[in-house]
Structure 1
Amino acid sequence: MRITRRQILGGAAGSLAVSGCKRSSRDAQGRVRVPLWYSLGGRNREVLLEIVRRFHASQDEVRVEPVYQGDYFESLAKLRTAIAAKAAPALSHVVAEVLPYLARAGTLESLDGFEGMRELPLVRPLAQAGAFRGGDARPLYGIPLNRSTPLMYCNGELFAKAKLAPPSTWAELVETARVLTKKGERWGYEVPISWWFWVAMVGQAGGRVFDEEGRPTLGAEAGVRALRFWQDLVHREQVMRPPPGRDYDAWNVVNQDFLAGRAAFVWTSTAYIRYLEDNAKFPVVAAPLPRDVRASVPTGGTFFVIVAHAPDDEKAGAARFLRFFCETDQAYLLSTRTGYLPVTTPAVERMHAEGFFAKHPNDAVAQVQLASVDPWPWEPLLFRIERDVVDPRLEEAVLLDRDPAVVLRDARAAAERPG
């Protein structure tokens, strides 16, 4: 079931039955207890829990207590409800696009008051300072956890047989997909029909989803061009698989089609580098997303946040854990084990110095593509427009080949309505 922005941000999910009872901030040994809600699974979860174990081994004053809360959107719905009930954990992580909304709502603790937080050596495009336009002029609310960008993955065996290089422009993408499509057996190209990838294409076509004054333009003509490009690939070129579902279902289908040889090249997240490399029976070759008039990618993933109403000792303990998390050993571990981008510059430097990028060229491609990051606007409406306005319209528009200008005109009208 799709979780709407109203459920996520409305704080009305009564079925969660969050208790407002006051919790104890210390355990039987007198250590500060810091509840941590997280949304990572598989190897990503294992690495996060390993970092928590390392933190406990490094000191004996703070105990971080991780609790899995479902996927990003399930966890966010629970967090919003818990905040309304004054029962939220001190520490959680949230999708990047919701950060401006939660900050404006006064639910997040500014991290500026905690020692050393502004001085953390974060990779700028992945941190609040560079992931949002004007993010460094705001109070610091988020510390990057699992950060990513869209990336193109090619079946190296198929590309070698066809003597093709990864496409670097939209025109080359069409030609490459034509050559590699095998009707009834393999799609040339596949991508989840998702806001994230559409935003990348809006940037590539020269637009932005919000203008400099904060108005939701949805890319204007660039937004129409991006949506029409998908429609042409599906309906007229017939080289791209029609939408296979929404949210994580679509992402999973794309990954499985690529691994099974049913798609010659795909767009998905840098987060899947290790998963695709480990499970493919062919060489996986990563490349930057193709450009139209320019190169552009958004950032994705989540930020750690500290909840404002949590007890002061828990908030201080959470900040201590975040500083530990950003130490080079931990940032290095997270990126080398999972495929998420390293979030600190010392971790990047170590990966270069120890030859990691030379041995893992796909990770090196992801690093190079950071130069093409197009920051998000710091707009409280950003997440509502993503989840309630644009995302629900994209799949239907591509599947039914609806006029993209009309679809986005209606979306702009919906975006401008209070909600």
Structure 2
Amino acid sequence: MVVLAACSNSANTTTGSGSTNTKDAATTEPTAQTAAGGSTSATGTNTPIKVTWWHSMGGEVGKAATELVKQFNETHPDIQVEEVYQGAYDESLNKMKASMDSKSGPSLIQVYEIGSRYMIDSGAITPVQNFIDAEGYDLSQIEKNIAGYYTFDGKLYSMPFNTSNPILYYNKNLFKEAGLDPEKPPATFDEVKQDALAITNKTGKSGASFAIYGWFMEQLLANQGKEFVNNGNGRTGTATESLVNSDAAVNTLKWWKDLIDSKAAINLGRKTDDTKKAFLAGQIGMTLDSTASLRGIVDGAGSNFEVGTAFLPKASASDQGGVVVGGASLWILNNKPEAEQKAAWEFIKFLAQPESQAYWHISTGYFPITTKAYEQQSVIDNMAKYPQFKTAVDQLHATNLTTATQGAVIGVFPEARQLVESAVEETFNGKDAKAALDSAAKAITEKIGNYNKTVKK
């Protein structure tokens, strides 16, 4: 599986979807209640249950994950979690596939959101809904727009962990230099072009640059209330056809191409790392990136310029849509003893606690998955220090949960994203947008069909 990270198209490292945090700003450590459930040996000696957690969190984000594991182990003597970094999401998933016929695999694994269909179809997991129902766990504390992605047929299959969505970042200094109101960012496609042209024409810098990233096309469609595949984005029935050549998709790509042709924007390729570097260097006025990049971008800009943030632009102000969450969730493997699965569930609950989520959010920039985390003083203080993050939270809460904003569910999502990216590149190079997306849609539909044939019914 050749895969792009869920919300960071850096195409190089995969430290978790969209994470670009450059400083460890954690000031508060999570607390936990001790969980029961240790095993007793034949000699009567209590032996902690071992939970092996495979994840794809590297760098500063990985340090935050390690700290959470440490806190859990210190407060849960009957359970000990061993974290194992397994590389990028696709590497980790391939290793899990190889381990499924043996006992060498994990108890718990972090999987990017676009791997959800495969995880369900694999038959290798125990839905977390089973544990939720068994103890009456209160799901109302979990953000509904985040839980919505991982809910299928009314059942939560995995627990959200690292979560983000895309927002518009803009350089307030360049806005002022171009005669634009720095407190009034563009909200529609037309406004993006107008503001970008003003920056290009009046400052000598490029107005914008958006990485050629399939995730952005999915988001721009969802923001118009449009689905990526048929059958309710694969949620009311198994997806069988790509809708990436819909009128909305074609018009979106034409707008994007027009930004390039009119010199309102420049094309810097597929890597969000490249657009981010250009933005931080003051070379472009606007870019799209993950909310998980916010801390790194604001810190990176420092005193050079003021970073503004805004909702993902809509095709039209009247569009009724929203954003789809990106990131990853935690899945419990069913080839482990029941006690080990329950222990993994205890760890999941610990990670979902407000204190844990406050620490995770502050350390990484990812959304808290539980609403009560926002009541933690550490989060309140962090929001005051980084007011731009309110944009991300407001955008999440302003999104109505529909099949479009829940996100598409297909077993060949990585391949689909690459096909969309190729179509965008072809269009930028002169191919008709409709023709390019028709070809992509046909190829994606064929791959969906081949995948569906492999799934046991």
TM-score range (shorter-chain normalised) is 0.7 to 0.9
Quick one: which of 175, 180, 189 aligns to 1:159? 175
- What letter matches 1:131 in structure 2? Y
Structure 1 range deviating more: 217-226 or 188-197: 217-226
SS in 2 for 1:309: coil
Q: Does 1:386 align with 2:436?
A: no
Q: Is the 8 A contact 1:205 1:225 kept in 2?
A: no
CA distance in 2, matches of 1:182, 1:31: 66
SS in 2 for 1:187: coil
Structure 1 range deviating more: 374-383 or 340-349: 374-383
In the other structure, the counterpart of 2:81 is 64
Q: Does 1:198 align with 2:217?
A: yes
CA distance in 1, matches of 2:245, 2:326: 19
CA distance in 1, matches of 2:69, 2:118: 28
Q: Does 1:145 align with 2:170?
A: no
SS in 1 for 2:47: coil
Deviation at 1:399, TM superposition (A): 3.7
Distance verdict in 2 for CA 1:394–1:84, change over 3 Å: farther
Q: Is the 8 A contact 1:98 1:383 kept in 2?
A: yes
In the other structure, the counterpart of 2:273 is 252
CA distance in 2, matches of 1:403, 1:117: 54
SS in 2 for 1:414: helix
Deviation at 1:210, TM superposition (A): 1.9
CA distance in 2, matches of 1:382, 1:266: 28
> Which stretches in structure 1 are left out of the alignment for 5+ residues?
6-24
SS in 2 for 1:125: helix
In the other structure, the counterpart of 2:267 is 242
Q: Is the 8 A contact 1:95 1:302 kept in 2?
A: yes
Distance verdict in 2 for CA 1:378–1:176, change over 3 Å: closer
Deviation at 1:203, TM superposition (A): 2.7
In the other structure, the counterpart of 2:13 is none
Cα deviations across residues 186-234 of structure 1 (Å, max 9, x unaligned)?
A: 3211122111111122233452112335342226111111122221112
Distance verdict in 2 for CA 1:388–1:355, change over 3 Å: closer
Q: What are the within-5 Å matches in structure 2 for residues 39-118 of structure 1?
A: 39-83=56-100, 85=102, 87-114=104-131, 115-116=134-135, 118=137
Deviation at 1:412, TM superposition (A): 2.0
TM-score (norm 2): 0.78
Distance verdict in 2 for CA 1:219–1:63, change over 3 Å: farther
Deviation at 1:183, TM superposition (A): 10
SS in 2 for 1:103: helix
CA distance in 2, matches of 1:396, 1:184: 27
Structure 1 range deviating more: 409-418 or 378-387: 378-387
Quick one: which of 308, 314, 327 aligns to 1:285? 308
CA distance in 2, matches of 1:270, 1:351: 21
Distance verdict in 2 for CA 1:378–1:402, change over 3 Å: closer
Q: Is the 8 A contact 2:52 2:81 kept in 1?
A: yes
Q: What are the within-5 Å matches in structure 2 for residues 2-41 of structure 1?
A: 4=2, 30-41=47-58
Deviation at 1:279, TM superposition (A): 1.3
In the other structure, the counterpart of 1:268 is 289
Deviation at 1:382, TM superposition (A): 5.5
Deviation at 1:368, TM superposition (A): 0.6
Q: Is the 8 A contact 1:231 1:401 kept in 2?
A: no
SS in 2 for 1:188: coil
Distance verdict in 2 for CA 1:117–1:156, change over 3 Å: farther
Quick one: which of 337, 355, 368 aligns to 1:311? 337
Q: Does 1:400 align with 2:429?
A: yes
Deviation at 1:86, TM superposition (A): 5.1
What RMSD in Å do the two structures reach over aligned CA positions? 2.7
Distance verdict in 2 for CA 1:241–1:72, change over 3 Å: farther
Quick one: which of 200, 223, 226 aligns to 1:207? 226
Q: Is the 8 A contact 1:195 1:394 kept in 2?
A: no
In the other structure, the counterpart of 1:415 is 444
In the other structure, the counterpart of 1:179 is 198
Q: Is the 8 A contact 2:227 2:408 kept in 1?
A: no
Q: Is the 8 A contact 1:93 1:302 kept in 2?
A: yes
Quick one: which of 213, 220, 223 aligns to 2:246? 220
Distance verdict in 2 for CA 1:269–1:309, change over 3 Å: same
Quick one: which of 131, 136, 139 aligns to 2:149? 131
For these two proteins, the number of residue pairs brought into alignment is 388
CA distance in 2, matches of 1:210, 1:290: 22
- What letter matches 1:196 in structure 2? W
In the other structure, the counterpart of 2:11 is none
Distance verdict in 2 for CA 1:83–1:185, change over 3 Å: farther
Q: Is the 8 A contact 1:242 1:398 kept in 2?
A: no
Deviation at 1:81, TM superposition (A): 2.5
> Which stretches in structure 2 are left out of the alignment for 5+ residues?
4-38, 451-457
